[in-house]
Amino acid sequence: MSEYSRKLTTMDLVITVAMAFALGIIYMGNAVLWGIIESIGGPITPNIMHPLWYLAGLIPAFIIRKPGIFFIGEFLGCFAELVAGSPAGPTVLMFGIAQGAAPEAVLAATRYKKWNYATMGAAMTSAAIVSFIMDYILFALYLAGTAAVIGMLVLRIIAAWIWASIGIAVAKGVAKTGVVAGYPIAKEV
C-alpha cells in the first residue's frame, strides 16, 4: 500500500455514508421481509436474510480497504435504519456496533491486506455469530428450543457466506462504473 494511504479521507467517508444510508433504507425492507418469511416458514427460515444487515459495512470496506470502514458503514447503516423507523428501535445501534466491530477484528487479523472471498466470508460470519449471541440474549431465542436455535445459527452462518459473495459482487459492480477509480478494487475489475 505504498501509494494508497490507510488514512481515511473525506472521499472515503462520503462513499461510506452514501452506501450506508442507502443500505439502511434497504435494512428497513429487510425487517418487513423478515416478518413475512418468519410467518410463513417459522423462526429458522428468516435467518437466511440476516446477513443482508451487514452489507453496509462489507460493501464500502471491500471498495475502500481501510481500517474502520466496515465498522463505520455498519453502524451508519443501522443508524439509517433507526431513523427510517426500525421496529427494533434503538437496539439496532447496539447491533450496528457489534456487527461492525467483529468484522473489523477479522480484517485487522489480516492487517487489512487480504481482500478476498475467504476473508470477507469470515468477516460476515463473525457478524453473524455476534449478532446471534445478542439475539439469543435480547430476544430470548432459547425459548424456541435447542434444535431451532441450532438451525437458526447454522442457517445464519451459511447465509453469511452467501451474502458475502453478493456484497463482493455489488462492490465490484460499483467499481465497474468507474466512480471508485482511485481505489484498489478498480484494479480487479
SS3 55: helix
pLDDT for the residue 55: 98
pTM of the model: 0.94
Mean pLDDT (whole number) for 95-120: 98
Decide if 152 contacts 42 (C-beta within 8 A): no
The CA distance from 169 to 139, in Å, is 32
pLDDT band per the 50, 70, 90 thresholds, residue 69: very high
The residue ranges of every structural domain in the chain are: 10-184
Q: Which CATH class is domain 10-184?
A: mainly alpha
The CA distance from 97 to 46, in Å, is 22
pLDDT band per the 50, 70, 90 thresholds, residue 59: very high
Average pLDDT of the chain is 95
| Burial bucket for residue 78 (CB in 10 Å: 0-12, 13-18, 19+) | buried
The candidate with the shortest Cα–Cα distance to 142, out of 129, 130, 154, 133, is 133
Backbone torsions φ then ψ of 54, nearest 5 degrees? -105, 0
pLDDT band per the 50, 70, 90 thresholds, residue 154: very high
pLDDT for the residue 31: 85
Structure-block grid coordinates of residue 52: 443482508
Residue 22 above 50 pLDDT?
yes
